[in-house]
Amino acid sequence: MSAETDRLLAIMAKLRDPNGGCPWDVAQSFPTIAPYTIEEAYEVADAIERKDMPGLEEELGDLLLQVVFHAQMAHEAGLFDYADVARGISEKLIRRHPHVFADVKVASAEAQTKAWEDHKAGERRAKAAGSDQPVSALDGVPLALPALTRALKIQKRAERAGFDWRTPKDVLAKFEEEVAEVAHEMESHGSDERLMDEIGDLLFTCVNLARKLGVDPEDALRHGNRKFDTRFRRMETVAAAEGQPLADRTYEGREALWNRAKREV
């Protein structure tokens, strides 16, 4: 390992030392640190989205700290350490890239993607060997993923297992069916549970439609969020310049301001 990696590991060990370390760091556990790990991963993605390379460097450091933190806690528990983590991912990369580290030939990026997924499926089957639980194509998709991301992943798994819509138009028809079912629950004053169930189906179908059209739903929603953010801020700016805040305007007045913002930004 490099000198800087050794230094980082030593700092983390010192922070976790019950004798003279940081009380907050010493008090942490895997469950309490997990939310920070997720947050840091999103901050890395945010820096990339904003094309902020100095920020990306900093955020990658924060994410690396999370790896080091978990590895230090595991080391203290006698489970594994940072070297084991690094060794494990190195071996996995070599194992999953036989076209680079062995004599296997891969014709294209698409062929490599299929080979990668086939290899991962084989690893899942090997892990399940000896278990009394049946093997599923959906095994290994983390429950803790954001719901939109998890929907996309399980849909892709189902597709590889042969369960999929034939065309985007088929999915669009299903989407319209789900919209009608939400409308029915609204009109019949359905329970909160029924509404949640139908809206869940609608959102799941949205992800399916995006997937069939080759659109990443996370990217699409981030784009939609960014567009709304820009237009709403424009509404606030215009409203302030005109001396009448949004909250003081009529519904029609706010709608007119929104349409103006759509034309301008």
| Ordered DSSP codes for 40-73 | HHHHHHHHHHTT-HHHHHHHHHHHHHHHHHHHHH
Overall number of domains in the chain: 3
160 and 91 in a common domain = no
- Tell me, what's the pLDDT at 97? 85
140 plus 203 within the same structural domain: yes
Q: Tell me: the pLDDT tens digits for 44-58? A: 988 998 899 999 999
* C-alpha–C-alpha distance, residues 10 and 217, integer Å: 41
Q: Can you tell me whether residue 193 is helix, strand or coil?
A: helix
pLDDT digit string, tens, across residues 242-264: 999 999 999 999 999 999 999 99
Residues 224 and 188 in one domain: no
Question: In sequence order, which residues have a C-beta less than 8 Å from that of residue 67 and are 6 or more positions away?
Answer: 82, 85
CATH code of the domain in which 57 resides: 1.10.287.1080
- Is pLDDT of 119 > 70? no
Same domain, 7 and 61: yes
pTM for the structure as a whole: 0.66
Whether residues 11 and 83 fall in one domain: yes
| pLDDT digit string, tens, across residues 209-247 | 999 999 999 889 989 999 999 999 999 999 999 999 999
In a domain, 115, yes or no: no
Both 228 and 200 in a single domain?
A: no
**Residue 57: per-residue pLDDT:** 97
Task: Give the Cα separation of 259 and 155 in Å (integer).
Answer: 36
Distance between CA atoms of residues 140 and 200, nearest Å:
22
In a domain, 119, yes or no: no
Q: Do 17 and 61 belong to one domain? A: yes
Residue 130 lies in a domain: no
Comparing CA positions, the residue from 62, 82, 61, 53 lying closest to residue 70 is 82
Q: Which domain holds residue 254?
A: 219-264
Provide the mean pLDDT of the chain. Answer: 91
CB atoms under 10 Å from CB of 145, counted, come to 14
What's the whole-number mean pLDDT along residues 85-110?
84
What does the alpha-carbon distance between residue 182 and residue 199 come to, in Å, rounded to a whole number? 6
Same domain, 10 and 92: yes
Residue-by-residue DSSP string for 131-191: -SSPP-TTTT--TTS-HHHHHHHHHHHHHHTT---SSHHHHHHHHHHHHHHHHHHHHTT--
103 falls within a domain = no
Q: Within this chain, do residues 208 and 226 fall inside the same structural domain, yes or no?
A: no
- Cα(183)–Cα(197) distance, rounded to whole angstroms? 13
Q: Do 208 and 256 reside in the same domain of the chain?
A: no
Tell me, yes or no, whether 10 and 34 share the same domain.
Answer: yes
The answer as to whether 35 is a domain residue is yes
Residues 30 and 72 placed together within one structural domain of the fold: yes
**Residue 17 resides in a domain:** yes
Whether the pLDDT of residue 130 is over 70: the answer is no
For residue 178, the model assigns a pLDDT of 97
Side chain identity at 152, as an amino acid letter? L
C-alpha 257/C-alpha 250 separation (Å) is 11
Tens digits of per-residue pLDDT, 30-85? 999 999 999 999 899 889 988 999 999 999 999 999 999 999 999 999 999 999 99
